[in-house]
């Protein structure tokens, strides 16, 4: 194999940062530029990349996380943004990056985890990762339909005041789920505000709560509830569920009564863990806004 150079932690180097972004656009169709130009790339997110000359050709990033499950805290490392330029595939670059990350971090954290698509489900067990079955959570919407007259304002990532509000809440939020949630994921949450869900961010004025949600075909997808104090989730639902919504789909484990769950059968975002830990639930679900 050609002796490509390994570089890492280059968020302040414009040349490599922009080359990383070009690779992300090519492989995933993701443009990180707004995220780092608005100062959201911090020390929680570190890229490990191979370069050919000055061009980033392969990458695996880590996100430092505190995972909270039933009151217990675990120091976790999540691997994400694993990608190789099409011209440099089948050279073992991804394997070498995974080996390096595991060797670097396995003594610094209690577990390493990642989410894999169906093309690499056989790849990660080679590094000692075990597959974990996640579940989806949902609720009949009938009893929550517009029982509240709270003022809900849509937030605009292009508005300086709104963006400052998002940054404050991302920094100071507390977990919304008592069963399984994460802390210290400010940088990643800002990615979801700016890149993934920029048109789905709402602020409940009277409660000082940011809510990420979308309505589609009679279903309300609740992605996250971001607050600096304990949240009454049923109050939130009563504020956002419109009359034509039949079902609420949660993208985290909700703390509310009558919630139902079912195993997720899709294989495009499969959880792998190394080593296995106790998640505090037989049906775990990592919040969608904690996926890197």
- Is 154 found in the same domain as 41? no
pTM of the model: 0.94
**Measured distance CA(192)–CA(199) in Å, rounded:** 11
**Cβ 234 vs Cβ 222: under 8 Å:** no
> Across all residues in the chain, what is the average pLDDT?
94
Mean pLDDT of 206-212: 96
- Is 194 found in the same domain as 117? no
Percent of the chain with pLDDT over 70: 98
Angle at 122 between CA 120 and CA 124, to 5 degrees: 75
- Is 250 found in the same domain as 179? yes
pLDDT (tens digit, 9 = 90+) per residue, 14-51?
A: 999 999 999 999 999 999 999 999 999 999 999 999 99
- Is 143 found in the same domain as 122? no
- Is 29 found in the same domain as 116? yes
| Sign of the alpha-carbon dihedral angle for 60, 65, 70, 72 | positive
The domain tally of the chain equals 2
For the chain, the residue count is: 292
- Is 275 found in the same domain as 233? no
- Is 185 found in the same domain as 95? no
Assess whether pLDDT exceeds 80 at residue 97. yes
- Is 127 found in the same domain as 33? yes
- Is 11 found in the same domain as 96? yes
pLDDT of residue 146: 63
Assess whether pLDDT exceeds 90 at residue 1. no
pLDDT of residue 150: 81
Mean pLDDT of 225-241: 94
pLDDT (tens digit, 9 = 90+) per residue, 175-206?
A: 999 999 999 899 999 999 999 999 999 999 99
- Is 149 found in the same domain as 246? yes
- Is 149 found in the same domain as 236? yes
**CATH code of residue 178:** 3.40.630
pLDDT of residue 6: 98
- Is 259 found in the same domain as 270? no
What is the side-by-side order of every strand in the sheet holding 152-154? 152-154, 201-204, 209-216, 219-226, 247-250, 135-140, 260-263
pLDDT (tens digit, 9 = 90+) per residue, 245-278?
A: 999 999 999 998 889 999 998 888 999 999 988 8
The range of the structural domain enclosing residue 178 comes to 137-263
**CATH code of residue 116:** 3.40.630.30
Percent of the chain with pLDDT over 90: 87
């Amino acid at each position: 194999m050609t002796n490509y150079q390994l570089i890492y932690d280059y968020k302040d180097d414009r040349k490599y940062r922009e080359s990383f972004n070009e690779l992300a656009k090519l492989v995933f169709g993701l443009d990180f530029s707004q995220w780092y130009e608005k100062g959201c790339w911090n020390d929680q997110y570190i890229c490990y990349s191979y370069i050919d000359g000055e061009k980033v050709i392969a990458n695996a990033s880590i996100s430092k996380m505190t995972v909270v499950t039933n009151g217990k805290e675990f120091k976790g490392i999540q691997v994400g943004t694993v990608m190789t330029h099409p011209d440099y595939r089948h050279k073992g670059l991804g394997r070498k990056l995974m080996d390096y990350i595991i060797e670097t971090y396995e003594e610094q954290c209690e577990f390493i985890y990642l989410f894999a698509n169906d093309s690499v489900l056989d790849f990660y067990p080679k590094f000692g990762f075990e597959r974990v079955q996640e579940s989806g959570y949902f609720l009949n919407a009938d009893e929550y339909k517009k029982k509240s007259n709270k003022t809900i304002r849509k937030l605009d990532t292009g508005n300086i005041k709104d963006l400052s509000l998002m940054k404050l809440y991302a920094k100071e939020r507390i977990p919304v789920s008592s069963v399984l949630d994460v802390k210290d994921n400010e940088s990643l949450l800002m990615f979801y505000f700016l890149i993934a869900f920029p048109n789905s961010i709402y602020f409940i004025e009277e409660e000082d709560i940011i809510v990420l949600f979308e309505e589609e075909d009679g279903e309300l997808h609740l992605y996250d509830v971001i607050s600096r104090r304990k949240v009454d989730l049923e109050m939130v639902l009563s504020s956002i569920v419109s009359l034509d919504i039949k079902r609420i789909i949660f993208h985290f484990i909700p703390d509310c009564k009558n919630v139902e769950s079912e195993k997720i059968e899709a294989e495009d975002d499969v959880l792998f863990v190394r080593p296995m830990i106790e998640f505090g639930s037989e049906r775990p679900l990592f919040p969608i806004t904690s996926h890197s």
